[in-house]
Amino acid sequence: MNFFRRLGLALVVGYIFFFYSERMFWSFLRSDDSIFFQILGWLTYTVFAYMTLAIIAYFRVRSIWPLFLAGTAFGWITEGIYAMTFFGNGGIPLPFTIVWTAIAWHALITILIGWYYLYISMANRSYLHTLAFSAGLGLFWGVWAVAWIFETPPLVATSTAFIAHALIATLILTIAFWIVPKLRPELFRPSKYEYGALLAIAVLFTAFVTIPSVLFAAPILLLAFTLLYALLRRNRAKTPPETNILSVFSTHVTVGKCACLFAMPLTAIVVYIGLNSAGLVFPSNIATLYVTSAIGSVVFLISIYKTLKR
């Protein structure tokens, strides 16, 4: 696989990560969300995706447990190095923000459920399974989205705006999933120069942006990455250098299976508009925060145990 194919894969996977971590998380476009900044966000997630794919390739990630650790690295890169919500955000203090949203959303929802398990459903399961899986994600999306009304000031999308955003964002997601196997992800092997460039981006951003912004809290993030490095290095030492989990994404996905993904936005639209129309809005964000944080923490601890047990 040459560099441009690897870059293409990072662009495609970057949008998949961007979809769950930004478009589903924020649920709908705000009045100041320009197309330019959406493209810039996608390109930023392309860098994060390149880093995540490189971690998977280098540390020989072949099962869901080290995959979750790689997903945690993705979450801590996104929320620790870049966004810095790792150190406290929106009234949620450290150390709870170590888990929310890096582990609870990015690792659990974006990487494990939205990327890995959804692709397995599309590639290896029945149409009914993929439809049900997509509808389940759509139900989660719609219920999560109504909680934005409790922000200050309240955020509510019109029916037209929510429908347009959900359908367009999912259309691009569908295209991205369809393209993934055509880029031969099982052959993704960055060169030493690519590894060096990715590491340099992370180190330089941390040194010149993150550390000056968070000051004395920075060692917590460094310790977190040290833990991940030690665990993933152990996984690499215990795993033969053959295929990794990216081979899962080399299985061809039919156009019909890709079309099943539209059960997600359609369900989200019905749920979001229905709940708002009936006045049945409730702070679903609180329940989501606690439930996903609990599940994410348990999966993270199991991943540590499984890796050390090897």
pLDDT for res 32:
86
Average pLDDT, the chain: 96
pLDDT for res 56:
98
- Comparing 171 with 32, the larger pLDDT belongs to 171
d(CA 28, CA 145): 8
- Confirm if 12 and 179 have CB atoms less than 8 A apart: yes
What are the Cα distances from residue 212, in Å, to 209, 218, 266? 6, 9, 44
The predicted model gives 171-178 an average pLDDT of 98
User: Tell me: the pLDDT tens digits for 240-264?
Assistant: 887 899 999 999 999 999 999 999 9
Count of beta carbons in the 10 Å neighbourhood of residue 236: 14
Question: Quick one: pLDDT band at residue 208, thresholds 50, 70, 90?
Answer: very high
d(CA 45, CA 48): 5
The answer, yes or no, to whether residue 310 has pLDDT greater than 80, is no
Question: Quick one: pLDDT band at residue 31, thresholds 50, 70, 90?
Answer: confident
pLDDT for res 52:
98
User: Tell me: the pLDDT tens digits for 89-105?
Assistant: 888 999 999 999 999 99
The answer, yes or no, to whether residue 7 has pLDDT greater than 90, is yes
247-284 residues labelled b (16+ CB within 10 A) or e (exposed): ebbbeebeeebbebbbbbbbbbbebbbebbeeeebeeb
Count of beta carbons in the 10 Å neighbourhood of residue 241: 7
The answer, yes or no, to whether residue 204 has pLDDT greater than 80, is yes
The predicted model gives 284-300 an average pLDDT of 97
User: Tell me: the pLDDT tens digits for 142-167?
Assistant: 999 999 999 988 999 999 999 999 99
- Confirm if 72 and 111 have CB atoms less than 8 A apart: no
HSE, side-chain direction, 13 A CA sphere, residue 228: 25
User: Tell me: the pLDDT tens digits for 228-243?
Assistant: 999 999 999 999 887 8
The domain in which residue 95 lies consists of 3-309
The answer, yes or no, to whether residue 293 has pLDDT greater than 90, is yes
pLDDT for res 152:
86
d(CA 244, CA 186): 7
The predicted model gives 211-222 an average pLDDT of 95
User: Tell me: the pLDDT tens digits for 46-95?
Assistant: 999 999 999 999 999 999 999 999 999 999 999 999 999 999 988 899 99
pLDDT for res 242:
79
Domains: count for the chain: 1
Count of beta carbons in the 10 Å neighbourhood of residue 33: 14
Question: Quick one: pLDDT band at residue 1, thresholds 50, 70, 90?
Answer: confident
pLDDT for res 196:
97
Residues in the chain: 310
For residue 116, the one-letter residue type is: Y
The predicted model gives 104-117 an average pLDDT of 98
Question: Quick one: pLDDT band at residue 133, thresholds 50, 70, 90?
Answer: very high
Tokens standing for residue 83: 């966004």
pLDDT for res 234:
96
User: Tell me: the pLDDT tens digits for 176-186?
Assistant: 999 999 999 99
